[in-house]
Copies of this chain bind each other. A is one copy, B any other.
Amino acid sequence: MTHRAPVTVACVQLAPVIGDALESVARIDAGVTEAAQRGAQIVVVPELANTGYMFENAGEVRGAAQALDGPYVSHLIQMAGSLGIVIASGFAELGADDSVYNAAVIVDGSGLLASYRKAHLWNTEKEVFTAGGQRPPVVDTQYGRLGLMICYDLEFPEWVRMVALEGAELLCAPVNWPRYPSPEGERPGEVVRVQADASVNRMYIAAADRVGRERGQDWLGGTVIVDTDGYPVTALELGEAHVALARLDLGLAHDKAVSPLNDVHADRRTELY
């Protein structure tokens, strides 16, 4: 078991304002700054945080999309540098191929560390985004080895397994979880699946969700950080804008043992899968 100095990880749960990038980015700045002031070293921001989600058509999302070296990501790099932190955020990417992607980045003050295009598109995203065709990235940062994927990707254990097998200690997951009814007393299924994703890989996961009502769609606000046993280490504050923080010993993610003779990765029967 490898212990390391704990790092503070934060998720910023906020409501983007569709069609108002300035206000959306102001909310991101406020949340990220609060997180850093409270000690966060790694900060995760929701999916499509600077644009909102409920696009009316492909033209609207194309108009909001930016290049990977465009103003939003450049702004994140600048903010990460001035705060001395690592930021993971979703955004709408206009690719060099002229396609529009539901994308995410990990940056620090030195620049772009990793980028990703969502491979498993949700519902009408299929009508306005091009699906990514690359595996989710895993990247070493000054605060730990981070994986990156987006929302519905988390529902595919095959995808989560990939970043875990590549040694991700913390999976950063910008999400936008639509609010659905769940049975009385039950934790939302999206959170349950994140818990399982973490525990079957003994990897931390930080899922930063959005809140608010946008063009008739209510959002869950199910932001959660879970430990390597799959238990939440932040309180669920469904629907409330807030910053969730947790101190994590990311070194523990290298310990895949679950009994004296079991290791969740080594125990896989890959010859049979």
Contact = CB atoms under 8 A, between A and B. Distances in A.
Interface of A: 119-120, 122-124, 126-127, 131, 133-135, 152, 155-159, 161-162, 182-183, 186, 189, 192-193, 195-197, 199-200, 229-232, 259-262, 264, 267-269, 272-273
B260 A123 contact: yes
A55 to B, nearest CB: 15
Given A196-B197, A260-B123, A161 B157 contact: yes
A161 B272 CA distance: 12
A66 to B, nearest CB: 25
Tell me the number of copies of this protein.
2
A120 B269 contact: yes
A127 B259 CA distance: 13
A113 to B, nearest CB: 22
Contact of A200 (B124, B133, B155, B272): B155
A273 B156 CA distance: 10
Nearest to A190: B199
A259 B123 contact: yes
A261 B123 contact: yes
Contacts of A127: 261
Nearest to A119: B269
Given A122-B262, A195-B196, 17 more contacts: A123-B259, A123-B261, A124-B261, A134-B272, A135-B272, A152-B262, A152-B267, A155-B199, A155-B264, A158-B268, A158-B273, A182-B231, A189-B195, A189-B229, A189-B230, A192-B230, A196-B197
A135 to B, nearest CB: 6
B158 A122 contact: no
Contacts of A232: 186
A205 to B, nearest CB: 12
Contacts of A260: 123
Contact of A231 (B122, B183, B193, B273): B183
B156 A268 contact: yes
A107 to B, nearest CB: 24
Nearest to A233: B183
Contacts of A269: 119-120, 131, 156, 159
A220 B199 CA distance: 18
Contacts of A155: 199-200, 264
